[in-house]
C-alpha cells in the first residue's frame, strides 16, 4: 500500500486557497502532488502556493473564475500542454442565507453560476483529457444540505443537491473510461467563513453562537478543515480505486443521528 501517496499526480483544486480547499491543497502537496490552485483571489492563491513551495511542495496559483467556461478552458488547456491532469477537486463555492422568499433572482443566479455551473465547467474541461489518458479522479464538494433540509439555505441546498447528482451522473457515464467520480458532504466545518458569518450576524455573541452551531452536530463540535482534507486524500488516492459514484457524509452524525 502506498499510504495515500500522490507523488507524480497532478491535481487541480478549485477554491484551493481558503477553508477546506486550503487544507486540501496543503494535504495533497504534502503527499507529493503537483497542485494547481484555482482562485478568484490571485493574491490569496499566491500566498498559499508560496507557503506550499516553501515547505518543499509543488504548487501553482492560478487566477480563475470557475463560473466562466472560457477562463476555465484556457487555464486547464495551459496545464494540459505541460502534463495530464490526474485529479480534479471541485471545491469552489459560495453560500447564501435565506429561505425561498428571501432569495432573489440575483441571489439564485449567483449561487448557480459558481456552485453548479462552475463545477460543470471544470469537469467538462478535464474529462476529455482524462479519457484520453486512461482515467482520472473527480471529487466534488457537496454538503449535508443535499440530503436533509437545512433552515434558511434554499439556494445553497439547491446547488449542493445538483453537485451530488452530477457526481452520480458523471460516475455512471465515464466508469468505462477509468474515471472515478465521488463527492463529499460535510456538516459544519470551522472555517474563516464561519467566523466571518458570526461576527457579522451576532456581534458580541460570537462564542455563544459558535457553541450553539457546534452542538447541532451530534458529535458535539464542528469539523476541522484538515479532517475533510484527509477524506479527500483517501478518495483521490489509488487505495480508493474501487470507489466511484458515492457520496460521503462527514458530518459528526448529523444526517443519520438527527433524522
**What are the boundaries of each domain within the chain?**
10-187+225-254, 190-222
Using 70 as the pLDDT threshold, list the residues of the chain that sit under it.
1-2, 259
Under 8 Å CB-to-CB from 233, ≥6 apart: which residues? Answer: 4, 6, 24, 27, 28, 31
CATH of the domain spanning 10-187+225-254, picked from 1.10.730.10, 1.10.760.10, 3.40.50.720, 3.40.50.170: 3.40.50.720
Give the pLDDT score at 1: 46
37-46 confidence digits (pLDDT tens): 999 999 999 9
The answer to whether 248 is a known catalytic residue is: no
Q: Phi and psi for 56 in degrees, rounded to 5?
A: 95, 0
Q: What is the DSSP letter of 202?
A: S
Distances (CA, A) of 191 to 19, 114, 161, 197: 5, 19, 22, 10
Residue of 36, 156, 174, 248 with catalytic role: 156
CA distance 224 to 159: 23
pLDDT of residue 2: 58
Amino acid at each position: 500500500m502506498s499510504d495515500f501517496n500522490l507523488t507524480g499526480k497532478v491535481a487541480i483544486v478549485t477554491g484551493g486557497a481558503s477553508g477546506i480547499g486550503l487544507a486540501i491543497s496543503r494535504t495533497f502537496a504534502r503527499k507529493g502532488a503537483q497542485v494547481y490552485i484555482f482562485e478568484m483571489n490571485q493574491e490569496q492563491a499566491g500566498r498559499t502556493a508560496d507557503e506550499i513551495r516553501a515547505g518543499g511542495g509543488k504548487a501553482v496559483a492560478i487566477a480563475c473564475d470557475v463560473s466562466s467556461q472560457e477562463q476555465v478552458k484556457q487555464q486547464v488547456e495551459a496545464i494540459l500542454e505541460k502534463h495530464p491532469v490526474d485529479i480534479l477537486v471541485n471545491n469552489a463555492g459560495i453560500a447564501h442565507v435565506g429561505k425561498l422568499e428571501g432569495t432573489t433572482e440575483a441571489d439564485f443566479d449567483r449561487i448557480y453560476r459558481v456552485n453548479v455551473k462552475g463545477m460543470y465547467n471544470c469537469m467538462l474541461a478535464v474529462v476529455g483529457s482524462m479519457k484520453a489518458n486512461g482515467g482520472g479522479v473527480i471529487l466534488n464538494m457537496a454538503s449535508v444540505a443535499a440530503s436533509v433540509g437545512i433552515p434558511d439555505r434554499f439556494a445553497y441546498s439547491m446547488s449542493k443537491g445538483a453537485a451530488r447528482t452530477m457526481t452520480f451522473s458523471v460516475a455512471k457515464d465515464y466508469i468505462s473510461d477509468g474515471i472515478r467520480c465521488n463527492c463529499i458532504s460535510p456538516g459544519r466545518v470551522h472555517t474563516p467563513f464561519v467566523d466571518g458569518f458570526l461576527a457579522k450576524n451576532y456581534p458580541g455573541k460570537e462564542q455563544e453562537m459558535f457553541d450553539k452551531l457546534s452542538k447541532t452536530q451530534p458529535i458535539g463540535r464542528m469539523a476541522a478543515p484538515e479532517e475533510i482534507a484527509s477524506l479527500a486524500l483517501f478518495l483521490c488516492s489509488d487505495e480508493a480505486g474501487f470507489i466511484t459514484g458515492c457520496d460521503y457524509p462527514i458530518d459528526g452524525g448529523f444526517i443519520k443521528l438527527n433524522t
